[in-house]
Every structure is written in C-alpha cells, then in structure tokens.
Amino acid sequence: MLPPAALAERVEAVLAEDLPVIVRAGDPVLRHPAQDFDGQLDDDALGRLISTMRRVMHGAPGVGLAAPQIGIPLRIAVLEDPGVQDPAVAEARARTPLPFTVLINPRYEAVGDAVAAFYEGCLSVPGYQAVVERHARVLATYTQPNGISTRTELEGWAARIVQHETDHLNGQLYLDRAVLRSLTADREHGRWAQPTVDVARQGLGF
C-alpha cells in the first residue's frame, strides 16, 4: 500500500502526461486490490484525475475505466455508455444510455438470481473478447466525488459495466470470469456479433 504522499506523487506524474497510457495485462497494478480512497488527494487533484480518466476512456474508446488501468491503485472508476443504435441488440442486452458516473470505493451485490452471458472486452487486454456470465441486476454502493454516499440498483449492461470496473478495483480481469472456450480475436468477432451469444455457443462449443 502506497503512503498518501507517494500516492499523490504518482497521481501527479500520471496527470502530467498529455494522455496517460492504459496499463496492459501483466502489470502488477492490475492484479492487486486498489486502496480505498480516503482523502489521499485534495479536491483539485481528485477532480483532475477524474477528468483525465474520462478523457482516456473516451479516447480508447470504452464505456468504463478504473484508476489502476492508468497505473493508480485507488478505488475510483468512471463509467459512461451512449448505448447502441441496433434495437435488437439494445433489447437483448438491456443496454440503454448510461450518463457519466464516478464510482469511489464501489461495492456491488447481486439482486435476485438472474444472470446474463455476453461477450466482453477490456482496454487492458486489447485484441480479444470473451463471454462472461454476470449478475443481471446489482445493487451498487459507492461515494460520489462530492462525498455523497449512494446506493443504486442497476440492470442489464449498466450492471455489467459496474461489475467489470469494480472487479478491476479488486485486482481481477474479466478473463478470470470468462468462458475461455469463447475467447475470440477481434478480427474474428464479427461472425459472433449477434444480439445474444447463442450462435457463438454453437460455433465454438461452449
């Protein structure tokens, strides 16, 4: 665990970059639980970190980014999803637009027993996607940047994003939960880019 001064120094070093590089799988920062945020950064530094994470997420592009993905071991993640244009995909995946959201020290728990399996990718594991079965609905508990504690029930794709990013903060990658037989290179993924994974199940035998 980094002491506050060392952590603040690392944050400033990352923020000094024009656009921080996304850390790739194999870097230890992705494999250790991140530290809870408890005031190690002042409001200005926290605001600049959140703004930078949002720019990195958009630039990738992605729908979520956890602080460890830019080398900062803090329990902070940003989310934003514009949704998809294809009505069939949107309905099958319960994917609706998710406004920009900041999660500080997030936790989640399942609501009900329903699960859903879809392909996921990760900015820290470029070039591949795999099917991950996740809770269809979760109750997320987190703190907003203004210090307000929040409990929000999420379903569908928004719930998936929260689970994916919170897993990052626990030192887990989506591949730890994936059906590895479904692993697909991006250049091959077009044949399985269906509203559901039923065709992929038949084709790849999982």
- What is residue 1's predicted lDDT score, i.e. its pLDDT? 86
* CA distances, 71 to each of 53, 68, 103 (Å): 11, 5, 17
Q: How many domains does the chain have?
A: 1
13 C-beta neighbours (distance < 10 Å), count: 12
Separation of alpha carbons 163 and 111, rounded Å: 13
Q: In the sheet where 98-110 sits, what is the strand order?
A: 64-66, 76-81, 98-110, 137-143, 149-155
Least Cα distance to 184 among 130, 106, 144, 141 occurs for 130
pLDDT tens-place values along the chain, 206 residues long: 889 899 999 999 999 999 999 999 999 999 999 999 999 999 999 999 999 999 999 999 999 999 999 999 999 999 999 999 999 999 999 999 999 999 999 999 999 999 999 999 999 999 999 999 999 999 999 999 999 999 999 999 999 999 999 999 999 999 999 999 999 999 999 999 899 999 999 999 99
Separation of alpha carbons 128 and 81, rounded Å: 20
Domain that holds residue 90: 4-204
Per the annotation, the verdict on 165 as an active-site residue is: yes
The answer to whether 158 and 81 have CB atoms below 8 angstroms apart is yes
Least Cα distance to 80 among 96, 59, 99 occurs for 99
**Sequence-separated (6 or more) residues with CB below 8 Å from residue 60:** 22, 123
Residue type, 126: P
Four-residue CA torsion sign, 84, 90, 92, 94: positive
Four-residue CA torsion sign, 153, 125, 22, 37: positive
The answer to whether 160 and 177 have CB atoms below 8 angstroms apart is no
Question: Which residues, in sequence order, are bridge partners of residue 179?
Answer: 131
- Spot the catalytic one: 133, 153, 165, 188: 165
CATH number at residue 191: 3.90.45.10
Separation of alpha carbons 72 and 34, rounded Å: 8
- What is residue 155's predicted lDDT score, i.e. its pLDDT? 98
